[in-house]
Structure 1
Amino acid sequence: MRALDFRKTLLCSAIALASGAAVAQQPAADAKPDVEVVTVVAAPIKDSQQAALEAKQMADNYVDIISSDTIGRFPDQNLADSLGRLPGLAIERDQGQARYINFRGAPFRYTSIAFDGIDVPGADNGRVPRFDSFPSVITSRVEANKAILPNMPGESVAGFINIHTFSPFAQEGFSFAGDIGMGEQKLGGGDIDKFGLRGAWSNDHFGVVLFSSANSREQITDNREYDLERDDNGELVVNELDFRSYKIVREDSAHGGTFEFRGDGTLQRAFFSTLYSEFVDKEERNQFVFTFSEPVAGTTASDRAAAVSRMLEYGRYENSTFTNTLGADLQLGNWVVEGRYNLTETEATTYLPIPRSMGAATTADYDLSDTENPKLYLADDLNDLAYNMTLGILYGQSLEVDVDKFKLDAERDFEWFDLGATLEIGLQLDQREADGYVIGSPSVAPFPASINIDDFNTGRRWDAKTSNTIGGTYYNNKGLRKAWQQAGLGSIEPSPADLIVMDEDILALYAMTTTRFAWGNIVAGARIEQTDYTSEGTVDGEKIAVDDDFTNILPSVHVNIDLADDLKLRISGSTGVNRPTYDEWRAAASVDVANEEVRGGNPTLDAEEAIGIDTSLEWYFAPASIASVGAFYRQIDNVIYADSTTINGGIYVPSEQGQEWTYTGAVNGDNGEMSGIELNFIGHAVDLTQTLDGFGISANMTLLNSEFEELDGTKSDLPGTSDMIYNVSLFYENFGLSTRVNYQYRDEWVSPIEDPSEKWGEQKRVDLSVSYELPFDFDGARMSVYFNANNLTDETDVRYAGNGTINQSESYGRRYLLGARVNF
């Protein structure tokens, strides 16, 4: 028996003992805690925090909660920003904007995401949640579950984020909320527009809520990339310098609503909800690469011969989630039964057409005394360089995932041995289809000779935080792409080795009991998930299909002890499973029969399996206040990472059955571990002295550690792990005025979407939010005005190569937004 299976057996035994222990305890109140109390609209910061903390205190597991008003009063661009302020959650940014969440330093895919309890596939690769298209207008609260219950998806190895949308019955009659704002991205003077609208109506039985949101951001990304190394004496050697300026427009939108009926008989509730959320990134890239054929040691050099290439691009990144749910809640005797049918479609596409000019030459001096601000002085005018040839290169990828989901949950209260208890059972069937292709070999063809690229040079110098010593100017990339299209741009023809064609069925069953005692409760149960999948591909012109099935038994037990009315101890043991991404699991691959080598997908990958423990001590020492400490540990088998290994060549070429081939791609490592300590404090000065009424502080810190063992025995960190993460917010709220200054910090980490040999350097952000609620209303409508500022210290984000030298620095500038909100 493997070690992980043995530990699962122990956990199952613990569940049985926990259930049996209930027999020997004294009876407690039968009332089940109700955590549906967090919807807070336009309440002060303190009231909003209090509602969230009350729900956290009553919850049956280790969870952190953000209310809608807390989200609204932070200067957040999306939900990733908001979640990044919770203990143990760190942000991964793309060109300065929050996109992904490293939940407790784990890879992105260890986190699952749901809307109103209905989990949806991640928009990236079918597994990875993105938060840059989810605005606050749709959100009544967000729960970040750290200890996973049996009624939550098994894919929640690191955590389960449940986004609750607004209910039509949150307020009787008609209600309305609007948010409009305008601002500027300081670097480049780009426009920022923010719009959100939500309306609802309800009576005793019928309700409807509709919402719409649209946000747009124009920004400049000042980027420098490097190929550096050090010689035997430790001197810097400059092989290549890459100067880039990105002009991007990022737009996100969300639209949808809920129609709901509430009854008094058997049919308690029936509803239909829909949500369409989209993110679009329109990117213009102006890039010049200088390669030194005979590099010399030192941070400065003169008259170095350099080959020059130029890349210009007007591309587009898109991702969307379209989810629709039909549901009904029934009262059948002592049972409350909830049925849900859901259809979800996620799409993610990338289209990058790049004219690449090569073969120009010049001589140059450089000075890298400040590596974040490299200076390169050319002997020739950049715009006068002559390129020998230009190629038209098309990069692209696309993935569409369609999911049919049926979910049935039932619960009832009962008594055993004079103890109040609740039994919950349920099943869920997911049928998923994934179709698309990955970025592999680009399509390459000669660029149309009829187009003179120099005609599209605007002559306007780059907006830059660093020194634009090369004299870079913007091109009319949109016009250049239009001319290319008219001359025959062509289309992306993905290689058969890059295709993704997968069917995946997941059947889940669970049962759990909550037994209540005078001192708290015990939640014990298990989830069983059976996975069937088929991965199809084309190898050397022959179609292949690899299919398999496996079953995971995922027990868990949660003990919640009320040491006092304001002091809670939690101890949880839980398990999880993480399936490979569709890119990793695809059967398509490129095969070199002569050398017996394969590169591409690995349809024989094992799913990652996890078992762990969470514990926390929470002191609710005053209203809207908490001081807590938590710790967690996870052991992970079959850690997925990129490497080379030996496989059976017959998987891809039937005639090579039993022959040992070399495979390069996603493989399984072993002995993965994650551990950490979380500290959290929220306090208000009024609890100490009335003279400081309105002042408060929110601070949290997480210390993390992780590692896994590669095939050769080398130990590496799990991607996404920073040794330290912390957030500090100082706020004041009184007389209608709310102000908050927030500082975020995370230590260096390896990005799950970058080269695993590279590391992002430490990152920090200072943000400011000021809001004032007008002291009068307009026929019952309350209005407030606000000012938000992001990245006040104008940070530069830096990444380092495996040899320890810098290989990228990016600057974005400060961001300002002025707006108004109205609620009635």
Structure 2
Amino acid sequence: MHTMNISSSRKFARLPLSRLPLYAAIMMAAIPAQNSMAQEDNSAEQITEVVTYGSPIRDSQKAAIDQKRNADNYLDVVSADTIGRFPDQNLADSLGRMPGLAIERDQGQARYINFRGAPFRYTSLAIDGLTIPGAENGRVPRFDAFPAVITRAIEANKAVTPAMPGEAVSGYINIRTFDPFEHQGWSTTTDIGLGEQMLGDGEVSRYSARMSWSGETLGFSVFGSRNLREQITDNRELDLTLDPATQDITVNAIDMRNYKVARQDTAWGGRLEYRPEGSMDRYFYSVLSSEFLDEEERNQYVFEFDAGAEAMGGSVAPGVTGYQPLALARRMLEAGEYRNAALTQTLGSDFTVGDWFLEARLNRTTTENETFLPIPLSAGGQVAASYDVSNLEDPLVSLMVPFSQTPMSSSDINYAMTLALVIDSNLDIDGDKVKLDAERSLSLFGQRSVLNTGFQYDQKEGRGVALAQSQSGFPSSIDIDNFNTGKLWDTDMTNGIAGTVYDNYGILSAWKQAAGDLSVAAPADQLVSIDEDIMAVYAMTTTDFSWGNIVAGLRVENTDYQSTGPLASHADEQTHVLPSAHINIDLREDLKLRLAAGSSISRPTYTEWRAAASVNPVDQAVTGGNPTLEAEEALGADASLEWYLGDASMLSAGLFHRSIDNVIYADSTTIDGGLYVPGAEGEQWQYTGFVNGNEGHLSGIEINLIAQASDVFPGMLDGLGFTANITALDSEFDTLTGNSFSLPGTSDLIYNTSVYYETEKLSLRLNYQYRDDWLSTTENDSFAEYWAAQKRLDLNIKYDLPIQTFGADLSVYLNANNLNDAVDVRYAGTAATPNQVERYGRHYMAGVRASF
């Protein structure tokens, strides 16, 4: 792979948005004449359906296995029917059941995907072949924002071809949405589910509907969905110190939090499509709007034992239990909101021109990401406290009057002051995309071949604030104690401080009335202003032989970007040449060997790439973004052996390796001061933020089994099935100072199993997921945070009713999630010093589906 960097001093040139209609006109120009042209080879477009209607699990698995078997690259597929048979609310849950895919959760809910256990930044997400920018930072996709109802099938490409985005180090996930022509006439499906989150008795609900109609030449579909989950999250955060010589633990502080959250994702969209009679052509318009909203109430107390001991002229005695006659207390209350949204619209056409079959797409996608956290922060409280962290999953704190053994509660604490803390961030991205793919048959070396070529032009603008916060005096006219409801926390942990729930929304309303606008002025060092153009061209051939086929080609991506800051701006251009080759060998009719080699990249996020930073010219220090970051570059190899045991059974084993250069991580290094301050050229300044490290690697082995008992023992155990996949990983990268870490998000072991039984009407499925410890972040060389191993047990029961209502086929279902009542633990450096413990309880949902 070759990378060319052009001097940042050149003028940054952008193609104006006004030119996009011209591209569209060029792409569509051949359409009026195409019907008069010969359509000699209609084999160019191959459509494989991976959806079943009212079929049992076996048929759904067979459809997905058939697509995997016939694919020209290494991939896995989840069909729409399979998704419906798991208790999944969003695509992250669904993807987590694929081989080698692990989930990163927030307060128990699936959010990000570690494809092949790799950092989530290494995965590209597309909808119907068009990539979607990550709303949070321009790169990383959040899968909890997309509901399962939009999905016809999910394709997880583990070895990418030149026709796929180059920004896919670990893989490329394509969500195929519903096609109205899959049903003739009218078709409607609805899903209504209601349930409860056991911790806090919160509502869990699901409402979705999809309607379509198609005739001979015209079809349309519309859909909408809303998922809601109200829950209590128990959270305890700890500041512990481990003496490496004695292994004694010192308890410096304990942070006790109780969150009440209401999370909902909503989506709507549709598709209008025209297919001229007697041809393969089609013209369509599609739209998808999705929004994820997290409304969060926080009741939080922090007890600083070390600060109290220091005020007394001493220190905290080592030990997992103890009594501190003076500890300082802080209280934080909040009614905050996290929101991200995406709107993507596509105008498309598939048509033939002579021997060529072309697919043209014009797309506009906008994303929004917002965080608003207004926090009354009360500080300077004094208590005496005893503590016990011998059970790290339930740390105990009991409060007493300072310098005594007289019990008191958290509501009795008096604070020296209350501050008004407001945290705000936002990022808006506008993206326009033009994409043209062309395909034709030809003869290569005397063999039947297919040539694919095309180009894609992306233009994106990112504007926002990475983090803004203000701190001032809280309005004295508001007595926060008047908003104490007196209701004890809903909790599965010990509430030794007698924590109570405050009316946080009432406090916020009074705060706004007293202070007016709570918006925060954006600090200059946190501004994000990035303009990015990416031009990609590719060509590849697929050549068939008697023993299989070879797919080989080249993709070239040119990235032209400018990052603007308050003091300076930086423009650069990078070109990446990305070759790849895939060999698919049919060793026998039921045994396939796949070999692949390729290259890929991972560009910096917009937060990392921002030119805005905090500059201290006196100390010659800079903190913030780094517009000079280079893209991570990877070379990879894959090998897999697939044994197809029957119609709906298979066993596969795969090996993969990625060698990665320029790994991006958070650290400190020296830079040229002139990047941020004119006149400081040549001066060596200290920079703290994001840097390119040295080489890294990711290697693994994955085994996947899908077994239907009737395929192995015909006539016996009909309806019984089993799936299991396991991935073992090894990863590492070197920092600039020579320290080594595993790649963030990478577990050494991931496995996923499910056992199911089905009859004509009834299906039961029990699923278990496991991943061991993984690195969360590296804020600096000497500090690393890890999440401890996580386990999940889920159950789905579905029954097709033997009756129809108003002509609809009905089924009822029961979903049960987190049956093992998992506790999530994060630790710093070693498992002996956890810094966060979190639990949220089980939840259940019962519902009914109707298909017309």
TM class, shorter-length: over 0.9
Partner of 1:685: 709
- Asked if 1:716 is matched to 2:741, the reply is yes
5 Å-filtered alignment, 1:725-804, equals 725-751=750-776, 757-778=784-805, 780-804=807-831
Q: Secondary structure at the match of 2:626?
A: coil
Deviations 1:710-741 (A, max 9, x none): 10111111100000000110100113100000
Partner of 1:519: 547
Q: Which amino acid aligns with 2:266?
A: S
Report matched runs for 1:87-126 at 5 Å.
87-126=99-138
**Counterpart-to-counterpart distance in 2, 1:338 and 1:221:** 47
1:408 maps to: 436
2:342–2:366 CA contact under 8 A, matched in 1: yes
Which residue type is aligned with residue 647 of structure 1?
I
Residue deviations 1:114-173, cap 9 Å, x none? 110011111220101011121111100000100001011111111100001000101111
The 5 A counterparts of 1:205-216 are 205-216=217-228
- Counterpart of 2:236 in structure 1 is 224
Indicate if the aligned counterparts of 2:44 and 2:439 stay in contact, CA closer than 8 A: no
Q: 2:258 aligns with which of 227, 245, 257?
A: 245
Measure how far apart 1:752 and its partner are.
Answer: 5.1
Relative distance call for 1:605 and 1:303 in structure 2 (3 A) is: closer
Equivalent residue, structure 1, for 2:312: none
Distance 1:250 1:707 in 2: 35
Instruction: Map 1:133-144; keep pairs closer than 5 Å.
Output: 133-144=145-156
Match of 1:455 in 2: 482
In structure 1, give the amino acid aligned to 2:260: K
Query: Does the CA-based 8 Å contact 1:185-1:191 persist in structure 2?
Result: yes
Q: Does the 8 Å contact 1:350/1:398 carry over to 2? A: yes
Q: Whole-Å Cα distance in 2 between the matches of residues 788 and 502 of structure 1?
A: 43
Shift of 1:516: 0.5
Equivalence map 1:537-556=2 (5 Å): 537-539=565-567, 544-556=568-580
Q: 2:725 aligns with which of 696, 700, 703?
A: 700
Q: Structure 1 residue 302: deviation in Å? A: 2.5
Seen in structure 2, the aligned counterparts of structure 1 residues 718 and 251 have a Cα distance that, compared at 3 Å, is same
Q: In structure 2, how many angstroms separate the alpha carbons of the residues matched to 1:80 and 1:243?
A: 29
Structure 2 distance, partners of 1:299, 1:553, is 56
Separation in structure 2 between the aligned mates of residue 2 and residue 817 of structure 1, nearest angstrom: 52
Q: 2:49 aligns with which of 1, 12, 37?
A: 37
Where 1:52 maps in the other structure, the secondary structure is helix
- Confirm or deny: 8 A CA contact 1:236 1:298 kept in the other structure: yes
- Contact 1:359/1:387 (CA < 8 Å) preserved in 2? yes
User: Per-residue deviation at 1:751?
Assistant: 2.1
CA distance in 1, matches of 2:789, 2:417: 40
Aligned to 2:364: 343
Q: Secondary structure at the match of 2:775?
A: coil
* Match status 1:615 vs 2:629: no
The SS at the match of 2:506 is helix
Q: Does 1:72 align with 2:99?
A: no
Q: Which residue of 2 aligns with 1:15?
A: none
Q: Secondary structure at the match of 1:691?
A: coil
Distance 2:132 2:355 in 1: 31
Which residue of the partner structure matches residue 268 of structure 2?
Answer: 255
Paired residue secondary structure (1:650): helix
Deviates more, 1:506-515 or 1:649-658: 649-658
> What's the secondary structure of 2:513's corresponding residue?
helix
Distance 1:87 1:32 in 2: 30
Q: TM-score, normalised by structure 1?
A: 0.95
CA gap 1:34/1:567 in 2 versus in 1, 3 angstroms: farther
Q: Which residue of 1 aligns with 2:510?
A: 483
Question: Which residue of 383, 393, 401 corresponds with 2:421?
Answer: 393
Note the residue ranges of structure 2 that are not aligned, 5 or more in a row: 6-40, 310-315, 401-407
Deviations 1:644-678 (A, max 9, x none): 11111111112111111111111001211000000
Q: Deviations over 1:680-712 (max 9, x none)?
A: 001011231523111110000000111111101
Whether contact under 8 Å (1:30, 1:516) holds in the other structure is no
**CA shift for structure 1 position 299:** 1.3
Determine if contact 2:44/2:440 at 8 Å carries over to the other structure: no
Q: Specify the alignment match of 1:129 in structure 2.
A: 141
| Counterpart selection for 1:434 from 453, 462, 467 | 462
Distance 1:303 1:556, change over 3 A: closer
Paired residue for 1:320? Answer: 341
1:307 to 309, 328, 339: 328
> What is the CA–CA distance in structure 1 between the aligned matches of 2:473 and 2:203, rounded to whole Å?
37
Q: How many residues align?
A: 796
Partner of 2:30: none
Corresponding residue for residue 392 of structure 2: 371
> Aligned residue for 1:202?
214
Moved more, 814-823 or 408-417: 408-417
Which residue of structure 1 lines up, in the alignment, with residue 653 of structure 2?
629
Question: Identity percentage over the alignment?
Answer: 54
- In 2, Cα distance between equivalents of 1:689 and 1:261: 45
Q: What CA distance in whole angstroms lies between the structure 1 residues aligned with 2:363 and 2:555?
A: 20
Contact 2:44 2:357 in 1 (8 A): no
Partner of 1:751, secondary structure, is strand
**Paired residue type of 2:529:** V
Instruction: Report the CA distance between 1:779 and its aligned residue.
Output: 5.5
CA distance in 1: counterparts of 2:461 and 2:385, whole angstroms: 53
Considering only aligned residues, what root-mean-square deviation do their CA atoms show, in Å?
Answer: 1.7
SS at match of 1:621: strand
Deviation at 1:753, TM superposition (A): 9.5
Kindly provide the CA deviation profile for residues 299-332 of structure 1, in whole angstroms up to 9, marking residues without a partner as x: 1112432111000000000011100000111111
Superposed CA offset, 1:214-236 (max 9, x none): 11110000111100112342111
SS at match of 2:518: coil
CA distance in 2, matches of 1:694, 1:537: 62
Q: Which of residues 171, 174, 190 in structure 2 aligns to 1:162?
A: 174
Distance across 2 between alignment mates of 1:283 and 1:173? 44
Q: CA deviation at 1:802?
A: 2.3
Aligned twin of 2:23: none
CA distances 1:546-579 after superposition (whole Å, capped 9, x unpaired): 1010110000000011111111100011111111
Q: Quick one: distance in 1 between partners of 2:564 and 2:57? A: 53
Q: Please, what TM-score do these two structures have when normalized by structure 2? A: 0.92
The more displaced of 808-817 and 31-40 is 31-40
1:397-452 per-residue CA deviation (whole Å, 9 max, x = no partner) reads: 10011101000111011123431110011000000000001125x21110000000
Is 1:670–2:688 an aligned residue pair? no
**Aligned 8 A contact 2:428 2:462 in 1:** yes
C-alpha contact (below 8 Å) 2:666/2:779 kept by paired residues = no
Give the one of 637, 645, 648 matched to 2:672: 648
Partner Cα distance (2:680, 2:443) in 1:
62
Instruction: Pick which of 737-746 and 261-270 moved more.
Output: 261-270
- Structure 1: segments with no counterpart, 5+ residues: 6-28
Contact 2:666-2:778 at 8 Å conserved across structures: no
Q: Report if aligned partners of 1:669, 1:709 keep a CA contact under 8 Å in 2.
A: yes
Taking structure 1 as reference, are residues 79 and 754 closer, same or farther at Cα in structure 2, changes over 3 Å only? farther
SS state of the match for residue 679, structure 2? helix
- Cα distance between partner residues in 2 of 1:471 and 1:75: 35
Out of 508-517 and 411-420, give the one that drifted further: 411-420
- Measure how far apart 1:264 and its partner are: 4.0
**Stretch deviating more after TM superposition (294-303 or 469-478):** 294-303
The partner residue of 1:809 within 811, 814, 837 is 837
Shift of 1:31: 6.4
SS at match of 1:692: coil
Letter in 2 for 1:597: A
Q: Distance in 2 between matches of 1:90 and 1:660?
A: 41
Q: CA deviation at 1:823?
A: 1.1
